[in-house]
A and B are shown apart, each in its own frame.
Chain A
Amino acid sequence: MDIYESHSINKKEKELLLNYLGRDPSHTEIGIFSVMWSEHCSYKSSRHWLKKLHTEGIQVIQGPGENAGVVDIGDNQAIIFKMESHNHPSFIEPYQGAATGVGGIMRDVFTMGARPIALVNSIRFGELTHPKTKFLLSGVVAGIGGYGNCVGIPTIAGETGFDSSYNGNNLVNAMCVGLTTKDKIFYSKASGIGNPVVYVGAKTGRDGIHGATMASGEFDDESEKNRPTVQVGDPYAEKLLLEACLELMQKDAIISIQDMGAAGLTSSSVEMADKGKVGIQLNLDNIPTRQQNLTAYEMMLSESQERMLMVLKPEKTEIAKEVFEKWDVDFAIVGKITETNNIVVLHNGMIEADIPIKFLTDNAPMYKREKIKKNKRKRKLQLLPSIKPKDAILKILNSPNICSKKWIWEQYDRTIMANTLNDAGGDAGLVRIENTEKAIAMSCDVNPRYCHADAKKGAMQAVAECWRNIISMGAKPLAITNCLNFGNPEKPEIMNDFVETIIGIRDASIALDFPVVSGNVSLYNETNGDAIKNTPTIGGVGLVENISVLNNFGSLNIGDSIYMIGKKGSHLSCSTLEEVYNGESSIDPPEIDLYQEKLNGNGVLELIQEKIITSCHDISDGGMIVTICEMIMLDDRGATINIVDNNKMMGELFGEDQSRYIITISPELESIFEKKMKKRGVKYEPIGYITSSQLKINDSIIISNNEIRDAYESLIPSVMNNMA
């Protein structure tokens, strides 16, 4: 293997590199090219398609292209948020991989001037019974908690999924939401020839070298030897860095700022200079290091955590230094902005690298990879006729993807900052904005089963599901971020799914006015050639203008009527019921009508905001009956449900038809409700009513609250607490 191959630079890319430079690169330069041209940094397979996403709206202050997206929430306030994957490192070293994923996404948010106010995550593992799952799940959860809890940001929402396609590649997608004022948003664009480039944060060590390259490759049986490429997190250092940066941001000293994430010093310096169309010169002699004799190559490629790069106003350098010293955070002037348009790296009096920046950015390889639609073998839904509804309800509640994830979220500090409004209670997380009556709802969603069966429909559904979860909290959906987790894009059928996913996200976000403002792509999620199911995780935020409308919302009263918003269910193909009984899915996920989605969602939002209904939850995995079970468990109530036609029972209980919600309402408000829905053209169906306890369906099926709760809550603790 030659030095290019060992840096994951293929033959064509090597020719391109030599052609650009017109000479042989130094070792450090090969390192710089390899990380900047890696899939992780260059988006070389996805860039062309990502441009097709819908990224605009009156609420958008900053769309994709910065450290995070920014949306307007009125009163001169803005929400800054993004989601990022840390899949590859989390599989190799789950605790540190997940912890640094959380740390990295937090920095993306506070580097723009926002104080983080909440964390959300989407994590996916192989089958719960797979020998590695227990180790990975406990490590990832401890890592997410270990980092977020220590920095002091509540983790308030998330989703956890299990599927055999993740046996060799688990997913960790972490989202951070921050708050700032509109006039205090910081960007990464460098400017001002001669201005100082300043390094702040933790010292640089040898950890994480080539993390970005590792994250751009597939796994095989020897992947564990990549462990040294996984970074080690120090949330304590992050907390100090956070406070120091936010303090300096009040002092009009910063021209631009960027966190050192993947590809560390290299990508942060290159990206800042590139955005400002300037050059940058770094003198590595001044980099704070953890050990002696780090080479230029190592310093440029290290992914040591909790570091930032800033361009400062020269006259404010001393003030900045004082702030960082006060917080015990390293501060070093490590370079300057130049007019050369090159990145020049000096070390021990030698020029270690001198590369025109455009070769690393705009002129980096970009591929419009071949895509072929795979003809999926049609498989008809076949359910055993002998399935009894009661057994199916309990079996689904006790299945890995539906069951309670309390074992997980009880390890996350959810109440710090004292603004968490619905601790573990709703379809989305909800945090109040301090000193206001506003709150931000947030949710992470995707159904890989649908995405695998039909990439476009699955992507549309993920956006719609996220929108629905936010609506269910009484919030107006604002915008989304995403993590597009896929296998090897060099396989035409995977590339095809990727492109269809983009189209699906685009169509749904246009229809729902739910634009994409930030995101991340994670490809090559494969082990020994087996790819994960497409997993385009969607993270959304929404705004509650006045939380007083939510007083008493979410509590079921005995005698409340239960209605469904939308049509009765019937679609069982690709459903949870099918997965739980057949172990695999047919390829026909439910249709999604985006016009109906918007109509229903806006109808529900009006019902909540006008305080007409007492609770609302969307219908998703597992169908209507899972939603109802979750509702009565939350409030320790019961429900009586009527199914008119016994032959349609399974479809009505377990169908996963889209755009639907379950609401409860006091009987005396039913006529107002009906009038409002008819006026909007929203379909609804009476389902039953709330009782004091037990679930009763047509007098023939009775399930006690204990049976429901045992089924729902026992699975994960029984697996995870069994030390054998």
Chain B
Amino acid sequence: MNVTIIRFPGTNCDLDTANAVKKVLGIVPKIISCKEDKIPKSDLIIIPGGFSYGDYLRSGAIAAREPIMDDLELRANQGVYIIGICNGFQILTERKLLQGSLLKNSSLKFISKSVELKINRNDTFFTSKYQTDEVVNIPIAHHDGNFFADQDTLDSIEDNNQVALRYLNPINGSLNNIAGLYNKNLNILGLMPHPERAVDLKTGTNDGSRIFESALNFYST
């Protein structure tokens, strides 16, 4: 499995994500700069967390308009699997590859804590190693994670079963407690929690590992 991580100026979870992939899957991912023309051939593309372009303007807004995102969109349409974590999720919504948007937390403050999340379905590329309705613990660390969509969009998200994860308890104002979201084709996943920080019990939890394991599972079976 080829894993590619895209780094924008201001991305700060690129190394953590690469380390997690290495640790969990034994695969050394390729980290590429967003200034490259093309994304190399990949089975999984990850846009990691951080503050791309300083989160200036709106979080993810500038990165979403980088030329490399044209190539990402092409790959997305071809069905390549993509995960956007935290700022990566924000970039994907800004690019309209995922629906809705991520507003400032309702507390208007940065929130950093380990939270309980419920896996909404386990029949996707990203979640086959979890149980449906399983509750897992993964850290969040964000200022703009308050998921918002208009009522029609929200209804269609729910009707199409596009929710990946929900906060067990309201945390940042997200509608329907949405913490993670798929596109309609289920090949793109946006996550506010940081699975790459939850791959080792020594740091508190390894509940994030199975996101990566599920992906590998797909390719090895």
Contacts and interface: CB of A to CB of B under 8 A. Distances in A.
A421 B202 contact: yes
A416 B9 contact: no
Contacts of A237: 54
Contacts of A420: 203-204
Contacts of A434: 19
Contacts of A419: 203
Contacts of B202: 421, 432, 547
B16 A327 contact: no
A156 to B, nearest CB: 11
B84 interface: no
Contacts of B204: 415, 420, 423
Contacts of A432: 202-203
Contact of B16 (A151, A236, A411, A418): A418
Contacts of B200: 418
A487 to B, nearest CB: 33
A702 interface: no
A152 interface: yes
Contacts of B114: 415, 423
A142 B196 CA distance: 25
B109 A411 contact: yes
A401 B56 CA distance: 36
A145 B51 CA distance: 13
A150 to B, nearest CB: 4
Contact of A415 (B15, B109, B112): B112
Contacts of A417: 15-16
B211 to A, nearest CB: 14
Contacts of B196: 418
A412 B112 contact: yes
A149 interface: yes
Given A411-B112, A415-B203, A420-B203, A151 B12 contact: yes
A418 B53 contact: no
Interface residues of B, number: 32
Nearest to B49: A416
Interface in B17-41: 19-20
A413 B51 CA distance: 13
Interface string B182-221: 0000000000001011011011100000000000000000
Contacts of A415: 112, 114, 139, 141, 194, 197, 203-204
A236 B19 contact: no
Q: Which of A152, A234, A410, A434 has the most CB of B within 10 A?
A: A152
A240 interface: yes
Contacts of A421: 202-203
B60 interface: no
Contacts of B145: none
Interface residues on A, range: 20 to 34
A233 to B, nearest CB: 11
Given A236-B9, A236-B56, A547-B202, A142 B141 contact: no
Nearest to B139: A415
B96 interface: no
B145 to A, nearest CB: 13
A63 interface: no
A420 B197 CA distance: 9
Given A416-B12, A419-B203, A547-B202, A150 B55 contact: yes
A235 B199 contact: no
Given A235-B54, A236-B56, A418-B20, A145 B197 contact: no
B54 A234 contact: yes
A150 B54 contact: yes
B13 interface: yes
Interface string A399-431: 000000000011111111111110100000000
Interface in B48-90: 49-51, 53-56
A413 B10 contact: no
Contact of A240 (B9, B15, B111): B9
A328 interface: yes
A250 to B, nearest CB: 15
Contacts of A416: 12-13, 16, 49, 141, 194, 197
A146 B54 CA distance: 11
A149 B12 CA distance: 9
B195 to A, nearest CB: 10
Nearest to A720: B109
Given A234-B54, A415-B194, A432-B202, A410 B112 contact: yes
B12 A152 contact: yes
Contacts of A151: 12
Interface in B140-166: 141, 143
Given A149-B110, A410-B113, A415-B141, A240 B19 contact: no
Contacts of B112: 149, 409-415
Nearest to B109: A411
Contacts of B54: 150, 234-237
Interface in A309-335: 327-328
B146 to A, nearest CB: 15
Contact of B10 (A239, A411, A412, A547): A239
Contacts of B19: 418, 434
Given A414-B112, A420-B203, 11 more contacts: A146-B110, A149-B110, A152-B51, A236-B53, A411-B110, A415-B139, A416-B16, A417-B15, A418-B196, A420-B204, A423-B204
Interface of A: 142, 145-146, 149-152, 234-237, 239-240, 327-328, 409-421, 423, 432, 434, 547
Q: Which 8 A-B pairs have the closest CB atoms?
A: A152-B12, A236-B54, A413-B141, A150-B51, A415-B139, A418-B197, A418-B16, A415-B197
16 contacts: A236-B54, A240-B9, A327-B9, A410-B111, A413-B110, A415-B112, A415-B139, A416-B141, A418-B16, A418-B19, A418-B197, A418-B203, A419-B203, A421-B202, A421-B203, A423-B204
